[in-house]
Structure 1
Amino acid sequence: MTFRGGGPLDTSNVSGGGGGRGKLAVGGGAGLIIVIVAALFGFDPGVLGLGSDSTSSSTSSQDQSAIDEQIKSCTIEQANEDTVCRIVATTNSLDAVWADIMPGYEPPQTKIFEGNVDTACGPATSDVGPFYCPGDQTAYFDPSFFDVLTDRLGGGDGPLAQEYVVAHEYGHHIEYLTGALQKGQRMGAAGPTSGSVRIELQADCLAGVWAFHADKGPDAMLEPLTQQQINDVIQTAKAIGDDAIQGDSSNPEGWTHGSSDQRVRWFNVGYGAGDPNSCDTFAAGNL
């Protein structure tokens, strides 16, 4: 069990399916390298096999309706068992935490899809993993990614590991609101100190800030976090480091998200401090 209490969840900012077209997004999953490069340089993701026509990349209305129906029926109790409802509950917790600690916070939208989706950042498939699109200020999730995360990438299989992934994409929204995302996009797409690496590590840190606050106070949605749950997050952060995914730590010039150790370090910085001001990866001399 991760979430405390019971009753319905707020689904006003969560829906099934996707929207328009444009530049590709900032990523965080299995296709993360392709996604971040496309985001920073604005080329057509269809060139990379991510789909380029709206027919092949659209979630069918039947699929979208089924996802919408499931989303609307989600309860806190179901969030402890069901992946879709866990995503919804995590967005509720994230919105509550960030509204409390960030003046002027405006929540993003969240889209949960299966297989394919059209977004304001272009068409995408499950292959790109979870991502945030600044064009429509929306975080996108295909729940099947979490099977890939554990079975193929070696991430943790605990619920907090999944919640960390959602919190990371929300971190990109915080970066959009503060201007950090736009700053990173001007600083280069690859390399150990590139803008893309600083963006991703900051999002990990901001996910840690959320985790620090998420189980505190009388209105906290999460039960007190255990060390095992934090270990699941650390395992996941290690699994999606550039060196782990590429299987090679000797070529950091190709990095876009940071090494496994860096991702763990910056999550721990945020989780230890609980302060978004601690997450300034752009001022850090040593990432």
Structure 2
Amino acid sequence: MRFNPRARIDESQIENRGGGGGFGGGLGSGGMRLPIPSGGGGRIGLGTVVVILLYVVISALSGNNPVPGAGGSSDQGSTATSNCRTGADANKSQDCAIDLITNSVQAYWSTAYQEQSGQAYQQIRTVKYSGQTSSGCGTASSAMGPFYCPNDKRVYIDKSFMDDMLKGQLGAKGGPFALAYVIAHEYGHHIEDQLGLLARMRTQQGPKSDSVRIELMADCLGGAWAKNAQTTKDAQGTQIIEDLTQDDIARAIDAAQAVGDDRIQKESSGRVNPESWTHGSSAERVHWFNVGLKDGTIDACNTFAPGAL
């Protein structure tokens, strides 16, 4: 994947943070953490955190438990400066690539969401941090991987994720478009949030649970962006991504395979237990990404439709 060197990065969509304070107790604290596929290496599948967060939101709405962080510190960590300005910067720096991918994903949904749902798209921000930072859902740390927080409507990405987790612990090939898949997946959760799907999620585990359907739909919505990635433009009308190859797509698919529940379970414990799945199998994640890549619509990505799973 190559960014257009002339494309301009819209930094209003990005929050750059250093390490900093938090609410304490981590994400989904208060006894509401769900079992997640993990082994001695602390492996966590892509999107795991958002499932915990959604359960937190549902419980808070029902009055059963407080949202983590309520009454806690509001410290957001220190604000860092950015040297990311153009596509040329994004071609040289993964840090800057996160910014321009965010711009591309939101440029796509700003048009596609309104066309397909009849409602205006709500632009949000990607928070880049190192180590840990606070979020509307509790303390975010590098061990948790990327996530979407519906409480403050932010996508959180620790800048070491690609090397330390996706390539290191999960064994994906990596590359700019693998990173793009991760970001597009998290913004898929934002689309689900706007559609009202997250608030209606109830079942947390199992091969056909709401949790798995939510995750697979986010994969599909990420694929919908990928289908249209080369059509996205910056605020000045300049094409953002000018070269996207089959190898790029293959790397995104490889990343989807790396974060399947069955693969993570097998590598961490040697056993596969579908009844504890929260994200879907590797094959399902690849399938739904490809559905989005082929059809590119919210309707096609409806994993809640009868017979979808």
Give the shorter-chain TM-score range.
0.7 to 0.9
Please list the CA deviations of residues 67-114 of structure 1 after superposition, one character each: whole Å capped at 9, or x if unmatched: xx12x5332111112111111001110111111111101112211000
Would the aligned equivalents of 1:3 and 1:221 in 2 still touch at CA under 8 Å?
A: yes
Pick aligned residue for 1:144 from 150, 154, 160 = 160
AA aligned to 1:170 is: Y
1:123 Cα deviation from its structure 2 partner? 0.9
Which residue is equivalent to 2:85? 74
User: What is the alpha-carbon distance in structure 2 between the residues aligned to residue 205 and residue 54 of structure 1?
Assistant: 36
1:39-50 counterparts in 2 under 5 A?
39-42=53-56
Q: Which runs of 5 or more structure 2 residues have no equivalent in the other structure?
A: 37-41, 61-67, 115-119
> Following superposition of structure 1 onto structure 2, how do residues 1-287 of structure 1 map, counting pairs within 5 Å?
1-17=1-17, 24=28, 30-32=43-45, 35-42=49-56, 60-61=77-78, 64-65=79-80, 69-70=81-82, 73-103=84-114, 104-147=120-163, 148-183=165-200, 185-186=201-202, 188-216=203-231, 219-247=238-266, 250-287=272-309
Output the amino acid matched with 1:2. Answer: R
Moved more, 4-13 or 272-281: 4-13
Higher relative contact order, structure no. (Cα contacts within 8 Å, ≥ 6 residues apart): 2
CA shift, 1:223, in A, is: 2.0
Contact 2:108 2:232 survives alignment (8 Å):
no
Cα pair distance change 1:266/1:19, threshold 3 Å: farther
Deviation at 1:172, TM superposition (A): 0.4
- Kept in 2: contact 1:208–1:267 (CA 8 A): yes
* 8 Å contact kept, 1:53–1:123: no
Q: Which residue of 2 aligns with 1:47?
A: none
For 2:110, the aligned partner's letter is A
Scaled by the length of structure 2, the TM-score of the pair is: 0.79
Aligned pairs, how many?
272
Q: Runs of 5+ in structure 1 lacking a partner?
A: 45-49
Identity of aligned residues (%): 43
Normalised TM-score (structure 1):
0.84
Alpha carbons of 1:106 and 1:223: their partners in 2 closer, same or farther (altered >3 Å)? same
| Equivalent residue letter for 1:228 | D
Whether the 8 Å contact between 1:23 and 1:135 is mirrored in structure 2 is no
Q: Which stretches of structure 1, 4 residues or longer, exceed 6 Å deviation after superposition?
A: 50-55
Q: Is the 8 A contact 2:8 2:85 kept in 1?
A: yes
CA distance in 1 between counterparts of 2:108 and 2:196 reads 20
Q: Secondary structure of 1:12's partner?
A: helix
Post-superposition offset of 1:180: 1.7
Contact 2:230 2:242 in 1 (8 A): yes
Alignment CA distance shift 1:3-1:166 (3 Å): same
Q: Quote how far apart the aligned CAs of 1:155 are.
A: 1.3
Q: Which has the higher helix share?
A: 1
Contact 2:69 2:137 in 1 (8 A): no
Question: 1:40 deviation in Å?
Answer: 3.8
Work out whether residues 48 and 279 of structure 2, in 8 Å CA contact, stay in contact via their aligned partners in 1.
no
